[in-house]
């Protein structure tokens, strides 16, 4: 049972089509492509797709869902007018598209009765776009279809739930041992915060440009900044989350940084391709963010320069010292924790460029933005100077770890 969008997959288009006069994508906290699936498990279950008010009304009156699905797709939200989200989410102005399931249980006794279902989203093989390259979900990298994936999940549902329960218990146990019950509760909330708006994608690789070697296939992680402009590839948004990745899966940190550093080493460049692939990052410091989720193509706000979709890489809210230090620290930390320095070797010239920038500009920071951008630019920011110092020390540690005679220069 699914609700789908009839306008196709916008990420497959070179130019985003308009939807209600606006470019398609994900400008707010909602999806606007693909399909939702509800897969109830077990017997004695009835499903229905359509108006939430119709589903509620039927179940309240008869104890059953309507017999036939509504056939108008996509199901329009708020048939009665503008959604005002009244108390309880009910009423004519709160008519949302709904996937509903109703189970008929035997008499409830000493043994609990459980209802099981899988809620899934199919991005139709297009979960993100990186400078013209459409990327599927990570689980599709070996050619699996959505049907095969969903069949694997539903057939192994109980085993998967057991594995998840064991993982949760072990993680909470570690946090309790480290800081007690309260610490574990905060940590569990942080776990959801860190992973709640992430997409793990499969980048198929790209030919090298301007003398760079080809980029091999690799996992990319796009994280959406909720509640702002929906940016992705945002370094300072993910810097606080890096500690969780380092604890449980440092390769996710590499997947987060890979698209950022590939862009800054010209791997996405294509002179004949037009905007934005015919641009390179013109600065010695790290970029702030790559674009607006799920499209990483420099849709910048235009601070201090051309930042629209028609030309010029803009400034993307530049935060030179902070983003450079953060990028350098996270790249190094992932290598040290995983004991795998292959990513460091790949980007060594870029990391050296970052360190040189921090040495030259970190002692007396010029007026610039930092993560506290609501305060506006500030000169001589002591926090930025401290970050630069840590970034330089990080580079020195990388020099030692990779047996390079550069540590003394940057210590």
Instruction: Render pLDDT for 223-267 as a digit per residue (tens, 0 to 9).
Output: 987 766 778 889 998 899 999 999 999 999 999 999 999 988 877
Instruction: Render pLDDT for 37-48 as a digit per residue (tens, 0 to 9).
Output: 899 998 889 999
Starting from the edge strand earliest in sequence, which strands make up the sheet with 2-4, in order? 2-4, 35-41, 116-122
> Which pLDDT belongs to residue 206?
77
Percent of the chain with pLDDT over 90: 48
Q: Which residues contact 301 (CB under 8 A, 6 or more apart)?
A: 229, 307, 314, 316, 317
Compute the distance between CA of residue 205 and CA of residue 268 in angstroms, rounded to an integer.
10
- More confident of the two residues 68 and 358: 358
Structure tokens at 258: 């890979």
* Alpha carbon distances (Å) from 393 to 10, 250, 258, 358, 407: 44, 20, 22, 10, 9
> With contact defined as beta carbons under 8 Å apart, do 100 and 54 qualify?
no
Q: Which of 1-10, 45-54, 177-186 has the lowest mean pLDDT?
A: 1-10
Torsion of CA 129, 131, 134, 135, to 10 degrees: -70
Task: Read off φ and ψ for residue 403, nearest 5 degrees.
Answer: 60, 45
> Which pLDDT belongs to residue 74?
57
For the cut 80, the answer to whether the pLDDT of residue 3 exceeds it is no
Q: What is the mean pLDDT of residues 312-319?
A: 66
Compute the distance between CA of residue 305 and CA of residue 296 in angstroms, rounded to an integer.
19
For the cut 60, the answer to whether the pLDDT of residue 84 exceeds it is no
Cα of first residue to Cα of last residue in the chain, in angstroms, is 60
Task: Go through 268-294 and write b for each residue having 16 or more CB atoms within 10 A of its CB, e for each that does not.
Answer: bbbeeeeebbebebeeebbbbbbbbbb
> Which of 156-160, 370-374, 405-409: highest mean pLDDT?
156-160
Q: Which residues contact 111 (CB under 8 A, 6 or more apart)?
A: none
Band of pLDDT at residue 175, cut at 50, 70 and 90? very high
Q: What is the mean pLDDT of residues 78-89?
A: 49
Q: What is the mean pLDDT of the chain?
A: 81
> Which pLDDT belongs to residue 327?
96
> With contact defined as beta carbons under 8 Å apart, do 208 and 262 qualify?
no
The interaxial angle of helices 382-401 and 320-338, nearest 10 deg, is 30
Compute the distance between CA of residue 142 and CA of residue 249 in angstroms, rounded to an integer.
21
Q: Does 276 sit behind a cis peptide bond, omega within 30 degrees of 0 on the bond before it?
A: yes
Percent of the chain with pLDDT over 70: 78
> Which pLDDT belongs to residue 131?
86
Instruction: Render pLDDT for 97-148 as a digit per residue (tens, 0 to 9).
Output: 788 999 988 777 888 888 999 999 888 888 888 888 889 999 999 999 999 9
Q: Which of 6-10, 157-161, 199-203, 366-370 has the lowest mean pLDDT?
A: 6-10
């Amino acid at each position: 049972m699914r609700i789908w969008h009839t306008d196709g997959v916008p990420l497959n288009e070179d130019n985003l089509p308009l939807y209600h006069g606006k470019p398609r994508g994900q400008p707010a906290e909602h999806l606007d492509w693909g399909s939702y699936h509800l897969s109830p498990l077990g017997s004695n279950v009835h499903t229905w797709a359509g108006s939430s008010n119709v589903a509620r009304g039927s179940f309240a009156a008869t104890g059953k869902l309507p017999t036939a699905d509504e056939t108008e797709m996509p199901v329009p939200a708020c048939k009665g007018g503008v959604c005002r989200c009244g108390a309880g989410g009910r009423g004519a102005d709160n008519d949302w598209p709904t996937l509903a399931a109703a189970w008929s249980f035997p008499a409830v006794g000493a043994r609990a009765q459980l209802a099981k279902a899988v809620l899934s989203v199919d991005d139709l093989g297009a979960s993100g776009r990186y400078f013209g390259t459409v990327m599927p979900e990570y689980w599709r990298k070996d050619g699996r279809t959505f049907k095969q994936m969903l069949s694997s999940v539903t057939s192994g549902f109980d085993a998967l739930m057991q594995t998840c329960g064991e993982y949760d218990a072990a993680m909470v146990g570690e946090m309790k041992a480290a800081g007690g019950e309260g610490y574990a509760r905060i940590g569990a909330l942080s776990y959801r915060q860190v992973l709640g708006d992430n997409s793990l994608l499969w980048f198929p690789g790209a030919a090298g440009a301007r003398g760079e070697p080809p980029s091999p296939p690799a996992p990319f992680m796009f994280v959406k900044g909720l509640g702002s402009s929906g940016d992705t590839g945002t370094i300072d948004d993910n810097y606080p989350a890096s500690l969780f990745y380092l604890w449980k899966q440092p390769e996710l940190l590499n997947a987060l940084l890979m698209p950022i550093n590939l862009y800054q080493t010209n791997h996405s460049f294509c002179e004949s391709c037009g905007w934005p692939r015919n641009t390179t990052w013109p600065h010695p410091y790290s970029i702030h963010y790559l674009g607006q989720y799920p499209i990483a193509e420099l849709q910048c706000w235009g601070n201090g320069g051309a930042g629209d979709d028609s030309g010029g890489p803009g400034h993307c809210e530049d935060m030179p010292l902070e983003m450079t230090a953060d990028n350098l620290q996270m790249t190094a930390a992932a290598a040290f924790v995983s004991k795998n320095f292959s990513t460091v070797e790949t980007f060594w010239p870029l990391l050296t460029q970052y360190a040189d920038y921090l040495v030259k500009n970190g002692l007396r920071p010029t007026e610039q933005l930092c993560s506290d951008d609501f305060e506006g630019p500030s000169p001589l920011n002591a926090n930025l100077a401290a970050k630069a110092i840590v970034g330089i020390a990080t580079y020195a540690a990388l020099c030692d770890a990779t047996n390079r005679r550069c540590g003394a220069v940057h210590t």
